């Protein structure tokens, strides 16, 4: 029987083979005119219209799991417009899905009948075609709800993936802005610190022999502290390097007791001003540790200064150092306000440092998160035990040298 042009168009169809992931392997027939989109190697989910992409994924997933689809409506872009096509399909064998598409159910029936008239092949077995015909010639059945649920879930997943991409881009921009802020702060701080260092050096040179020993000692401490601060600005205030694990260490064998003593001497005046008693327990026979003394001093200075700052007047801050096996254990104990578990977790994962004198104290740079990363870069361990209303204990565990190399005396750490 001769068909009209409209009937011919309605009977147009496409037959294709996909793998289990929905990738088009072969196009066996295409009288619809989909040659520009049904390209071998592409995923069916990618050539389906945006509105049906989630449905297409649910369709392929059901076929892969061995559930034959009796009829499924999917939209495809044809000649700059979206056209709804009826699909049937089944898994012929592992990783081999047979799909038939047409404009209408009658078109699907005619296509399957024509395929049956041809010699059967492994790609289009008679059993699969007969299964399609039996389903298509029967009364339409309600679509199983699991397929609808899958389509809905895939749609929600698409939405979440798009939102995740947006959030990721926002975080990347925020990280870039933060790093630019660090660079700007470092640039602005370096010049006045360099001037302080220069004037202290000049006064020490010009006043040699004419100043009191106490004045010379104070100027020497100012010079050493400014040099240390400049070094911190040049290297330690680079959060991207520290957080990405690219922290460069200049290790050498040092006596940790000397590093701790220097930190205590630096913060002694600050403790007196705050009316906080600063004490230390330091052994004299500790094995040397191979560390970067400048970076360990930076960590200790931050912890001790913060312990003093947050302790009430009349409180005590103690620092102890002991050897336990092949490790050295440093503890800084304060009598400050302490922290809740939630706040401690947030601080340990986000770089923060408290600005002295600010009411309330405000974060301006590196903090416990960076301290932990610096200690970890030395192969050590950083722990915090804190209780609101009681205080905090900061513990640093560092590996000691098993041998006894020649000790190098560390420079004085930066003043608070």
Same domain, 297 and 368: yes
pLDDT of residue 394: 94
End residue of a domain, out of 108, 143, 178? 143
Higher pLDDT, 32 or 180: 32
Question: Domain for residue 153, yes or no?
Answer: no
Strands 96-102 and 13-18: antiparallel
Q: Is the pLDDT of residue 6 over 60?
A: no
150 occurs within a structural domain: no
Q: Which of 237, 255, 280 finishes a domain?
A: 237
Domain around 341: 247-416
Which has the minimum average pLDDT: 250-254, 259-263, 341-345?
Answer: 341-345
For 271-281, letters b (16+ CB in 10 Å) and e give: beebebebebe
pLDDT band at 166 (very low <50, low <70, confident <90, very high): confident
Output the 3-class SS for 31-67. Answer: CCCCCCCCCCCCEHHHHCCHHHHHHHHHHHHHHHCCC
In terms of domains, do 136 and 275 share one? no
For the chain, the domain total comes to 3
Average pLDDT for residues 181-196, to the nearest whole number? 69
In sequence order, which residues have a C-beta less than 8 Å from that of residue 350 and are 6 or more positions away? 367, 369
Mean pLDDT of 10-28: 87
Task: Give the span between the Cα atoms of 78 and 323, in whole angstroms.
Answer: 76
Asked whether residue 335 carries a pLDDT value surpassing 70, the answer given is yes
Greatest mean pLDDT range, 78-92, 125-139, 312-326, 355-369: 312-326
In a domain, 94, yes or no: yes
pLDDT at 358: 43
Q: Which whole number is the average pLDDT over 175-202?
A: 71
Q: CATH number of the domain that 108 lies in?
A: 3.30.450.20
pLDDT band at residue 246 using 50, 70 and 90 as cut-offs? low
Residue 64, in any domain of the structure: yes
Clarify whether residues 135 and 173 are in a common domain.
no
Alpha carbon distance 39, 21 (integer Å): 15
Please check whether residues 199 and 50 belong to one and the same domain: no
Specify if 156 maps to a domain. no
Q: What residues does 321 pair with on adjacent strands?
A: 330
Structure tokens at 309: 């700052």
**pLDDT greater than 70 at residue 115:** yes
Q: How far apart are CA 28 and CA 59, in angstroms?
A: 20
Q: State whether 179 and 103 are in the same domain.
A: no
> Which of the listed residues 212, 237, 262 is the one where a domain comes to its end?
237
Q: Are residues 262 and 320 in the same domain?
A: yes
Are 229 and 317 members of one domain? no
Residues 177 and 297 in one domain: no
Beta bridge partners of 277: 316
pLDDT of amino acid 415:
41
Instruction: State residue 73's pLDDT score.
Output: 83
CA distance 305 to 325: 29
Q: Give residue 363's pLDDT band: very low, low, confident or very high (50, 70, 90).
A: very low
The answer on 377 and 294 residing in a single domain is yes
Asked if the model's pLDDT at residue 259 lies above 50, the reply is yes
The answer to whether residue 151 sits within a structural domain is: no
- Strand-pairing partners, residue 90, are 98
Element (H, E) at 291: strand 289-291
pLDDT at 243 exceeding the cut of 60: no
Looking up residue 268, the CATH number of its domain turns out to be: 3.30.565.10
pLDDT attached to residue 145: 52
Mean local confidence (pLDDT), 315-320: 93
Is residue 17 a part of any domain in this protein? yes
* Residues 303 and 413 reside in one and the same domain: yes
Q: What does the alpha-carbon distance between residue 303 and residue 411 come to, in Å, rounded to a whole number?
A: 18
Radius of gyration (C-alpha) of the chain in whole angstroms = 37
**Rounded mean pLDDT of the chain?**
78
- Per residue in 129-153, pLDDT (tens digit) is 888 888 888 865 455 555 556 666 7
pLDDT at 395: 94
Residue 360, preceding peptide bond in cis (omega within 30° of 0): yes
Angle, in degrees to the nearest 10, between helices 293-310 and 368-377: 150
DSSP secondary structure letters along 150-183: HHHHHHHHHHHHHHHHHHHHHHHHHHHHHHHHHH
| Co-location of 271 and 415 in the same domain | yes
Residue 303 lies in a domain: yes
pLDDT at 142: 52
pLDDT of residue 278: 92
| Same domain? 215 vs 115 | no
What's the rounded Cα separation, in Å, for the pair 125 and 285? 85
Q: Which residues pair with 416 in a beta bridge?
A: none
Q: What is the pTM assigned to this prediction?
A: 0.47
299-310: burial string, b at 16+ Cβ within 10 Å, e else: bbbbbbbbbbbb
């Amino acid at each position: 029987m001769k068909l009209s042009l409209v009937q011919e168009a309605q009977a147009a169809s496409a037959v294709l083979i996909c793998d289990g992931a929905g990738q088009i392997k072969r196009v066996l027939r295409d009288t619809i005119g989909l040659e520009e989109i049904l390209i071998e190697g592409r995923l069916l989910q990618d050539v389906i219209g945006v509105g049906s992409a989630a449905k297409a994924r649910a369709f392929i997933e059901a076929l892969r799991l061995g559930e034959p689809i009796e009829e499924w409506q999917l939209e495809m872009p044809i000649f700059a417009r979206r056209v709804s096509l009826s699909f049937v399909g089944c898994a012929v064998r592992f990783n081999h899905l047979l799909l038939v598409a047409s404009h209408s159910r009658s078109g699907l029936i005619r296509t399957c009948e024509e395929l049956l008239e041809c010699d059967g092949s492994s790609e289009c077995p008679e059993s699969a075609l007969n299964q399609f015909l039996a389903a298509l010639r029967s009364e339409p059945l309600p679509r199983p709800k699991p397929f609808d649920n899958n389509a809905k879930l895939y749609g929600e997943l698409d939405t979440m993936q798009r939102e995740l991409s947006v959030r990721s881009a926002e975080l990347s921009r925020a990280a870039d802005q933060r790093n630019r802020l660090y660079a700007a702060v470092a640039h602005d701080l370096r010049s006045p610190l360099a001037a302080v260092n220069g004037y202290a050096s000049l006064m020490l040179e010009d006043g040699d022999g004419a100043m009191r020993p106490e004045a010379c000692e104070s100027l020497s401490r100012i010079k050493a502290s400014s040099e240390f601060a400049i070094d911190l600005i040049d290297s330690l205030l680079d959060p991207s390097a520290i957080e990405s694990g690219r922290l460069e260490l200049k290790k050498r064998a040092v006596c940790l007791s000397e590093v701790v003593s220097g930190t205590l001497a630096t913060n002694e005046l600050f403790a007196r001003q705050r009316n906080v008693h600063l004490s230390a327990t330091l052994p004299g026979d500790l094995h040397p540790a191979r560390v970067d003394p400048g970076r360990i001093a930076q960590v200790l200075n931050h912890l001790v200064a913060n312990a003093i700052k947050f302790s009430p007047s009349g409180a005590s801050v103690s620092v102890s150092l002991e050897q336990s096996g092949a490790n050295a254990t440093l503890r800084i104990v304060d009598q400050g306000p302490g922290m809740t578990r939630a706040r401690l977790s947030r601080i340990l994962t986000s770089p923060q440092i408290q600005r002295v004198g600010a009411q309330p104290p405000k974060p301006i740079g590196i903090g416990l998160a960076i301290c932990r990363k610096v200690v970890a870069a030395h192969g050590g361990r950083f722990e915090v035990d804190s209780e609101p209303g009681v205080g905090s204990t900061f513990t640093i565990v560092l590996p000691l040298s098993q041998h006894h190399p020649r000790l190098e005396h560390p420079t004085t750490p930066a003043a608070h």
